[in-house]
Structure 1
């Protein structure tokens, strides 16, 4: 899917949308990343660069995207987090679009935020302490914020992740998953389902979260930790935000130190109960199996191609340890 011709079509489509933001169609641009969506850096001459996000079709509805942007606007208004401002079109809309084959792709624009992503190592302990505090502020904001009546975002519960309506595909299709591995992950999924059901969905532990605070969505500059890409925000368990922050390296030896720092930072803003702490391994395992499904269902993406079969094999090994220690 992500071959040169396809990316060329996306670029050409975006160029047809640029005049909506008052930019010529031949403005300099380049692809930044591609995953669920494609993001482009657009560089108007003599002006600040702008990040344009071209949405994958059939993932989020227009209402869902506008709800994401509404939450970002509210977070910025309340100074809850450092995150780029969504930029409206010249006629005040937050979304543009263009046709690509039989699909209609939504386009959103954001201020450019400079910075580098933190390292996937114990060197990032100070940043995870700050991220824990930021996460607590995000969660506090969602408890207090009066959402618009039109607000719609997906719910990331067990059924949406690993159960009967998986939004990112069936983990059983994991790349290279053996019959023995499937049996082990079936047992793991059953344990996860039971633990999550017992933990529950009370308002003190389940609500609107970022849901994808992985390193690629964190930007460090000086002492500032910026947060980008709320595209997967939705309703889920608050403590799940830590598991998302260590995406793709959930079994790294640095995880205990990063988790301790995140919890310390979180507690500087809001309490973390003993029940919350006991669920951290559950959320780590849940995220790992979910990403195993995502890699299988998004095998054409650069991230999935980089992770591949070894990631599935690591998931099985992690599940075996999880069952030994936490089942």
Structure 2
């Protein structure tokens, strides 16, 4: 009876473990749309979405991602998978390979009575490797810089996909015609404090100076921090494309730079990252220190807003 009563609790009142238990059943239903013989389903404690490792009875391993209700639309998920599929076809970069449904769809939408809204689910092949933080080396960041530049070079050709801007201040900003308008900025200041105004003014000026030409702006990953790149046998793999969208290439690099700012050897790691990037894209404003610092300031504000209102 206690378990039955627990299942009657509103989804919003459950902790992360409770929500994951509910979503596990939804994930099991989603997997019936795929030609994957499931042997075991294991929750993964990474990222804002709920993800599960899927061990197949065929010996293969996969990752199933259950989207947040406030996450990208089905069309936007299709666009993300279109880029991943193109990267798999056209490059040798190590990225997650999408698994289509039985009906050759890139994603499936599943409902469960214990979850208040239908969820979009996507399945991908598992990517081998280790996530690192304190033990990151300049050599590894150099390789990540190379990979980032190659992602940008490929993303520059991926025009017209249904993905938003990665540098909008918040979910509120993304819902506006101009995600960096005065109204959006004032709302950010009201939430995060007057001290963010200078950082926002600085990045607005940098964005205006850079412009939006294909040499500085295109489809980017949007979240290249330590939980979205990993290392295996000397190669860098990039995962976590759920935040991909259009933005300045410098923003993508700034996300990585900001994420390593707590490390004591951050200066060496930063230089190695930028050297690796320049080895592939030598003539670029993306590695300019002033430009990077401005976008790093924007990233800090975005994360601050996300923590304050839970929707940024």
Q: TM-score, normalised by structure 1?
A: 0.79
Describe the shift of the 1:88–1:60 C-alpha distance in structure 2 as closer, same or farther (beyond 3 A): same
Residue equivalent to 1:198? 209
Tell me how far 1:171 sits from its aligned partner. Answer: 6.6
Tell me how far 1:275 sits from its aligned partner. Answer: 7.5
**RMSD (Å), alpha carbons:** 2.6
State the secondary structure of the residue aligned to 2:148: helix
Residue equivalent to 1:115? 129
Residue equivalent to 1:141? 154
State the secondary structure of the residue aligned to 1:216: coil
Task: Work out whether residues 205 and 238 of structure 1, in 8 Å CA contact, stay in contact via their aligned partners in 2.
Answer: yes
Tell me how far 1:253 sits from its aligned partner. Answer: 4.0
Whole-Å separation in 2 of the counterparts to 1:171 and 1:124: 37
Whole-Å separation in 2 of the counterparts to 1:274 and 1:94: 35
Provide Cα deviations, 1:191-227, integer angstroms capped at 9, x if missing partner. 2222322232222111111111111111111101101
Residue equivalent to 2:4? none
State the secondary structure of the residue aligned to 1:135: helix
Describe the shift of the 1:202–1:76 C-alpha distance in structure 2 as closer, same or farther (beyond 3 A): same
Tell me how far 1:44 sits from its aligned partner. Answer: 2.1
Describe the shift of the 1:58–1:274 C-alpha distance in structure 2 as closer, same or farther (beyond 3 A): closer
State the secondary structure of the residue aligned to 2:57: coil
Task: Work out whether residues 141 and 273 of structure 2, in 8 Å CA contact, stay in contact via their aligned partners in 1.
Answer: yes
Tell me how far 1:78 sits from its aligned partner. Answer: 1.1
Q: How many residues align?
A: 286
State the secondary structure of the residue aligned to 2:78: helix
Task: Work out whether residues 80 and 137 of structure 1, in 8 Å CA contact, stay in contact via their aligned partners in 2.
Answer: no
Q: Unaligned stretches of 5+ in structure 1? A: 175-181, 300-327
Task: Work out whether residues 158 and 196 of structure 1, in 8 Å CA contact, stay in contact via their aligned partners in 2.
Answer: no
| Aligned counterpart in structure 2 of residue 126 of structure 1, from 130, 133, 139 | 139
Do residues 84 (structure 1) and 101 (structure 2) align? no
Whole-Å separation in 2 of the counterparts to 1:208 and 1:274: 16
Describe the shift of the 1:72–1:244 C-alpha distance in structure 2 as closer, same or farther (beyond 3 A): same
| Aligned counterpart in structure 1 of residue 26 of structure 2, from 1, 13, 19 | 13
| Aligned counterpart in structure 1 of residue 44 of structure 2, from 24, 32, 39 | 32
Provide Cα deviations, 1:255-288, integer angstroms capped at 9, x if missing partner. 3222211111111111244674131111111111
Residue equivalent to 1:51? 63
Do residues 259 (structure 1) and 283 (structure 2) align? no
Provide Cα deviations, 1:264-319, integer angstroms capped at 9, x if missing partner. 111111124467413111111111111111222339xxxxxxxxxxxxxxxxxxxx
State the secondary structure of the residue aligned to 1:20: coil
Do residues 185 (structure 1) and 196 (structure 2) align? yes
Tell me how far 1:250 sits from its aligned partner. Answer: 3.1
Provide Cα deviations, 1:102-138, integer angstroms capped at 9, x if missing partner. 31101100101111112246x4211111111111111
Whole-Å separation in 1 of the counterparts to 2:235 and 2:286: 31
Do residues 63 (structure 1) and 81 (structure 2) align? no
Residue equivalent to 1:321? none
State the secondary structure of the residue aligned to 2:43: strand
Q: TM-score, normalised by structure 2?
A: 0.82
| Aligned counterpart in structure 1 of residue 165 of structure 2, from 155, 159, 168 | 155
Residue equivalent to 2:243? 232
Q: Unaligned stretches of 5+ in structure 2? A: 1-11
